[in-house]
Chain A
Amino acid sequence: MSQKPALKMEGVFKRYGRIPAVDGVTFEVREGEIFALLGPNGAGKTTLVRMLTGITKPDEGSIQFSIGGGAAGDQPAPGDFGYLPEERGVFTDIPVIRTLEFFGGLRGMKRADARKEGEHWLKRFELHDRMGDKIQTLSKGNQQKVQFIGAIIHKPTFAILDEPFSGLDPVNQDMFLDVLRELRANGMTILLSAHQMQLVERLADRILLLARGREVLSGTLDEIQTRSHAGSTVHLRLGAADDEKRLADLAYVQDATRRDDGSVRVILEPGATLAELLRFAANNFEILDVQTGRMSLHDIYVRAVGEDRAAQPTPEAVS
């Protein structure tokens, strides 16, 4: 993976009326990487993506693409760029292959080339026998596949994929992961936004977490785990009578909560050792099972968003 930036966004602001949708966001996406944009609803992801696709313009700040061998500019050439919108952005009353030919045409492909490439991808996604069917006859997951093919059919150097895993079952999610890795291996730079943290964790080279239009965390998963002081996670299966609340009171424990399966998930403070926790647990509880790991992206995401909300003054406090 190159360190050369394919996209640079610096100090970008976008307001709707008095409400800031994107509030001074700065980041860069490097050539050939998969960059994930995360954030809760209303975090400003859609606004940010729309600015990247050129549908809206930032009020302040700059967006620079350096892709396709051309000079840096605020908008890439259509053929260098692919976009998968969040919702079903397809013509449902048109046959699958005709839709793909049209999307390819919009990106500068000849109809025959688009058809050939479309057939290749439909085979890859096991939809070849449906290429003459109208899109409305396909399942939600299969419609998502067609929309995805439409976004990358012209082999763009930079693709923005908004919720690419939406509507997919686990088998197809894995298929998409493989395809995205393959595209990255072929040199495509991908910016994706998704809610499926476990998939982002497996796929993304770097991550940007947004909340209320601002950056909360960014970097590789390791960097984020370090910066967010994400300690080790320990799953303890304790005896029935044992009270996990005593664990939460320990100074080196960030959080201790009982899960639905009965186990207790303990998050250690950075620097705390597993031995300390196990010593305390052995002396005070009946330990049935122990599993250790690092704090997941899901946990980091939930905690960071929660902390951001808590840090915001309430309307009462302001007044």
Chain B
Amino acid sequence: MNYWSTLWLVSVWEFQRYFKPKEQIISIVFAIIGGLGYFGFKAHKEKQSKEEIVLLVVSELPRPGSERRLGRFILKPDEGPADEAEKKVVKGEAAGLLIQKSVNSAELRTTKKVGWGAELESALTRQRQKALLSATLVPAVVMSVLNDPFKLDRRVIGRDEKSKKLGKIEAAWAVGFTALMLFGVFIGNAYLFIGITGEKQSRVTEQIVSAIPAQVWIDGKLVGLSFLAFASVLNLLFSILVFFLVGWGITGNWILPMKIADPWLMVRCLALALAGFAFWFAFFGMIAATIDNPYNSNRAAFLYFPVLPQMLAFFALSDPDAFWVRVVALLPVSSTTMLPVRQIAEVASWWEFPAAMLLLGVGIWILRTAAGRIFRLGMLMYGKEPGLSEMVRWVRET
């Protein structure tokens, strides 16, 4: 067997070992149930919010008004007295009784607590404002201008023309991408830790390394788990899509922002994600090979390393073309999350993607070589963990 056929065998084994189609289907089923629950409830609330509400109005003012409509509220004057009107409300002839005390106050009586109280208060306030303004004889044109917000265009000067802040939709996509990356990295790391440390403890590793080189074994793990993380992310994306499809089916509105529809951008982002998984898994493979017991090793803290570039990505959202963003978007530890932000903002130059991929490739190569060497010797250590100097020596010597 040559390197590539063995790599394929191990990669498929590692992928199939942890990829559970049943779990993937369950997550889609959950998305459907969640979508039905969320959008069904939302549609119900929206339907409720559009229903007309009839209120009887008993006025204590000298000149009671006529029947009028405020938004969805229909105010029907009632001659009273209030006790008689209240009986009508109890009988269900109206949703409530509004006793108008003055031009500034009223009392609302209902048979149960209602959710539209604040809405009614707001409608009455607007109606009072309108009445007061009408009384001042302000022209209609002036009235409409009074209600419009001031228009302020913001522009950064003295910077590249391309420099811009991400819009809401682009920012949502960038945040979503970094979150998915983090999800994939954590999923893969969990399997990597369980796999490498568990196999080391059960000595299954010895049986395998007696058959194939340690480097192929670790390479196969990295490839298999990278595709596993990738598949998990795709499944999560699919589940999210299903969730919104259910919403579309119920409400008739497509609310997922689809402004980012450039397929080449998607391909670049996915390629960066896959390479990013391989990079982080090579790093964690190296760490896991040195861990004796995953439950009490303080090296498990390395699991949280990928959170740092994710945090940087959030800072980059406000200015994706800042100098520091341009630099970290090329570094292998951060390019997988930072470069997509720049690409989505359309501020990245054409050469940044191939440059970042090249640097990632070099980083993966160095880390997987170190991981293979450390793994080969680390798997023989039981009861203690090698120090940093020992690991450096292994990498140099082997």
Contacts and interface: CB of A to CB of B under 8 A. Distances in A.
Interface stretch (A79-87, A236-244, A282-290, A309-317): A79-87
A107 B207 contact: no
Interface stretch (B47-55, B209-217, B302-310, B316-324): B209-217
Contacts of B9: 102, 105-106
Given A56-B380, A78-B1, A106-B211, A50 B17 contact: no
A24 to B, nearest CB: 22
A48 to B, nearest CB: 14
Interface stretch (A90-98, A177-185, A209-217): A90-98
B92 to A, nearest CB: 63
A184 to B, nearest CB: 21
Nearest to B194: A93
B211 A92 contact: no
A54 B376 CA distance: 11
A160 to B, nearest CB: 8
B212 A78 contact: yes
B208 to A, nearest CB: 6
Given A78-B1, A106-B6, A150 B13 contact: no
Contact of A91 (B17, B210, B376): B17
A150 B207 contact: yes
Nearest to B212: A106
Given A56-B380, A106-B211, A108-B1, A83 B202 contact: no
Interface in A71-123: 78, 81, 83-94, 102-103, 105-108
Interface size class of A (residues with CB under 8 A): 20 to 34
Contacts of B376: 55
Contacts of A83: 206-207, 210-211
B212 A89 contact: no
Chain A interface secondary structure, helix, strand, loop or mixed?
loop
A196 interface: no
A12 interface: no
Interface residues of B, number: 19
Nearest to A151: B207
Interface string B16-41: 01000000000000000000000000
B241 to A, nearest CB: 31
A102 B9 CA distance: 8
Contacts of B13: 102, 105
A55 B17 contact: no
B17 A53 contact: no
Interface string B356-398: 0000000000000000000010001000000000000000000
B43 interface: no
Nearest to B18: A93
Contacts of A86: 203
A136 to B, nearest CB: 11
Contacts of B208: 106
Contact of B202 (A84, A88, A105): A88
Nearest to B377: A56
Contact of B211 (A50, A78, A91): A78
Contact of B209 (A55, A103, A105): A55
B202 A53 contact: no
B4 to A, nearest CB: 14
Contacts of B204: 85, 88-91
Contact of A90 (B202, B209, B212, B380): B202
A87 B379 CA distance: 14
Contact of B17 (A78, A88, A94, A150): A94
Contacts of A84: 207
Contacts of B202: 87-90, 92
B17 A103 contact: no
A103 B206 CA distance: 12
Contacts of A107: 211
A89 B199 CA distance: 8
A89 B380 contact: no
Nearest to A57: B398
Contacts of A108: 1
A87 B203 contact: yes
A88 B199 CA distance: 10
A250 B1 CA distance: 65
Interface in B205-255: 205-212
Contacts of A105: 9, 13
A245 B209 CA distance: 55
A46 to B, nearest CB: 10
Contacts of A90: 202, 204
A105 B13 CA distance: 10
Contacts of B380: 50, 55-56
Contacts of A81: 210-211
Given A78-B1, A106-B9, A108-B1, A55 B203 contact: no
Interface in B318-338: none
A85 B207 contact: yes
A86 B205 CA distance: 12
Contacts of A151: 207
A55 B13 CA distance: 22
Given A87-B203, A106-B9, 4 more contacts: A53-B206, A55-B209, A89-B206, A90-B204
7 contacts: A50-B380, A56-B380, A78-B1, A83-B207, A85-B206, A90-B204, A150-B207
Q: Closest 7 interchain pairs by CB?
A: A53-B210, A89-B207, A83-B210, A106-B211, A89-B204, A87-B203, A85-B206
